[in-house]
Amino acid sequence: MTKEFRVQERLMNKALDKLPNYESSSLLYRIEYLSESQIEKYYKINEIVTNKHFTSSSYDPDAIGKAMRKRAYTVLIRIESKNGKLIEPISTLQIEKEVVFKSKTTFFVKDIKITTSPEDYVTPIKTIILKEL
C-alpha cells in the first residue's frame, strides 16, 4: 500500500469514528461475488476473518434486493454489527441505507448456510453469518 493510500485510510477511519454506531439487533446485508473456492478459503465456521478493506453493508432488505438485481453476486453475507457506522445521512446514495465498517474490522464466522434471497424471498442463496468482534 502506498503512503498516500495509508494516509487516506487513516483519515477515513478517523472520520468514521466521528459517526454514530448503527444500533439494531437486526443483521445487516452484504453481497459479494466470490467463487466457491474463495468462500471455502476465506470463510470457515468458528474462525476469525479480518477485512483489510472498508466493509459496506445495508440495513434494509429492499435496498440489498435492488442491489442484487443490478450487481453480480454469489453469496449473501449477514453481519451482526457492534461498531458499524451509519453513513446514510451523509451519503450521496441514501437509497442504499448504508452501514460501513472501518478497515481492518475483525469478524467471527458464526455460520454458513442456505437461506432465501432478499431479492425475491424464494431463491436459495449461500449465506455467511458474521459477528463483528
Mean pLDDT of the 14-28 span:
94
Structural domain total, the chain: 1
User: What's the start-to-end Cα distance of the chain, in Å?
Assistant: 25
Mean pLDDT of the 81-99 span:
85
* Cell representation of residue 105: 474490522
Tens of pLDDT, residues 6-19: 999 999 999 999 99
Nearest to 79 by CA among 60, 103, 57, 47: 57
Please name the amino acid found at residue 115: T
Nearest to 64 by CA among 116, 119, 124, 127: 119
Cβ atoms of residues 100 and 57 within 8 Å: yes
Mean pLDDT of the 81-96 span:
84
* Residue 52's CATH number: 3.90.176.10
Per-residue model confidence (pLDDT) at position 96: 77
CA dihedral 9, 15, 19, 24 (to 10 degrees): 0
Cβ atoms of residues 55 and 104 within 8 Å: no
Q: Which domain holds residue 67?
A: 3-132
Residue 90 pLDDT > 80: no
What does DSSP say about strands 105-116 and 48-51: parallel, antiparallel, or unpaired?
A: antiparallel
